Amino acid sequence: METFVQLDGDVRLWVCDEGRSDRSPLLLIMGANASALAWPPEFVEQLGRQHRVISYDHRDTGRSTWAFDEHPYAVADLAEDAVAVLDALGVARAHLVGMSLGGILVQLLLLDHPDRLLSATVLCSCALGVGAAATGDSSPRPDLPGPDPRLLALWEQMNEPRDRAAELEWRVEHWRILNGGVIDFDADDFRRLEERTIQHAGRYDNPAAHARADQRGLDRGAELARVSVPTLVIEAPEDPINPPPHAAYLAEVIGSARRVTIPGMGHALSSPVLEPVAAAILAHTADVDAAAPPGNWTRATRHR
C-alpha cells in the first residue's frame, strides 16, 4: 500500500506499507538525500516475511515534498517525521532500522521517544556527537577516523547542476566508492537502482537538502548510556564514511547494544550483503518479539 502522510504546513511524506500486516511493524529509515527506494526490493521482501515493513521518502527525496529552500528544517526534525509516519499508520511501537543518517535519527528516537520503539538497529552510522553527527562546537570528542578523501572531493560536486546522464554517472561513481574495496561492485545494479529512484521521484536533480540542514541538537552522545531499548549495531568494516571503530564506539556508548560485523560490507546495500544484514536484523527482532506480549504494537498513541 502506498499513501501520503501530511505534516504541519504544506509538507507531506510518501509512505509504503507492505509485508505481513499481522506481524510486528518494522520501520526503515534511509540515509541522507536518499528515498525509500534505496532499500533494495529483495531486502524489503525478506524482512516482510517476518514483519509489516514500513518505509518512506524523507523530505526532499522521492515523492515527498521538496521545499527545503522555502521551508528549511533541522536534521532532528527528520526524526520527528518518523514519529509522524507511525502515528498516521496507527502504529504504537515498531522495530526501527536506520542506515547512515537514518541511524542518527534512530538514536534521537531512542532518546526522545523510547516508548515508540520495540527495538533499534543502526547500520553504517556513527554515534551522536561524532563524525557526521558532530555539531561543530568545541566539545571534546574521541579521535575517530573521518570519511575517505575521495568522498569528500565528490561531495563538493553534490549539488552542482548536471543533466540526467551526468547525474546518473555521478551517483554510480558515488556508490562505487561507498561500496568499499572488498566486495565486487556491480555498476549495472546500482545504475538500475538510481534509474528506479529517478523514475520514482519524477526528477533527477539533487538539492543536497540534508547536507544543508541544521545540525543543532545532535551533540547528545552522553545520553545514549541510558538507552534500554534492545539495540543492534551492524558494523560495516569497509565503510568509507564511518570506518572502524565507529560501530564499536557506538555500541560502547550505548552500553546495552549488541554489535554484529558483516565481513566486506561498505556503506552500501550491495547484493552480497543483503542476506546477512537481513538475517542479523531478523534474529534481533525475533528475540525481542519472543519476549514481548503479543500484539503490543497495535494500540496507537498520538504525539503530534
Give the model confidence (pLDDT) of 127-157 as tens digits: 999 988 887 654 667 889 999 999 999 999 9
Instruction: Point out the residues of the chain with pLDDT beneath 70.
Output: 136-140, 298-304
pLDDT at 136: 64
Is 258 part of a structural domain of the chain? yes
Question: Domain with 58 in it: what CATH number?
Answer: 3.40.50.1820
Is 252 part of a structural domain of the chain? yes
pLDDT at 9: 81
Is 299 part of a structural domain of the chain? no
Q: Which structural domain, as residue segments, surrounds residue 31? A: 2-291
Q: What is the secondary structure of the chain as a DSSP string? A: -EEEEE-STT-EEEEEEEE-TTS-EEEEE--TT--GGGS-HHHHHHHHTTSEEEEEPPTTSTTS---TTTS--BHHHHHHHHHHHHHHTT-S-EEEEEETHHHHHHHHHHHH-GGGEEEEEEES---TTSGGG--SSS----------HHHHHHHTTTTS---HHHHHHHHHHHHHHHT-SSSPP-HHHHHHHHHHHHHHHT------HHHHSB-TT---GGGGGG--S-EEEEE-TT-SSS-TTHHHHHHHHHSS-EEEE-TT--SS--HHHHHHHHHHHHHHHHHHHHHSPTTTT-S-----
Question: Of 215, 274, 244, which is closest to residue 72 (Cα–Cα)?
Answer: 215
Domain count, the chain: 1
**Residues with active-site annotation:** 100, 239, 267
Determine contact, residues 16/88, Cβ cutoff 8 Å: no
pTM, two decimal places: 0.95
Is 298 part of a structural domain of the chain? no
The count of other CB atoms within 10 Å of the CB of residue 65 is 20
pLDDT at 104: 98
Is 296 part of a structural domain of the chain? no
Is 249 part of a structural domain of the chain? yes
Exposed e or buried b per residue across 248-285, where buried means at least 16 C-beta atoms within 10 angstroms of its C-beta:
ebbbbbbeebebbbbebbbbbbbeebbebbbebbbebb
pLDDT at 142: 83
Cα separation, 175 vs 268, whole angstroms: 7
Cell numbers linked to 266: 561498505
Q: Hey, which residues does 261 pair with through a beta bridge? A: 235
pLDDT at 301: 43
Is 103 part of a structural domain of the chain? yes
Is 255 part of a structural domain of the chain? yes
Residues 6+ apart with CB under 8 A from 232: 119, 120, 121, 122, 257, 258, 259, 260, 280, 281, 284
Q: Give the type of residue at 273.
A: V
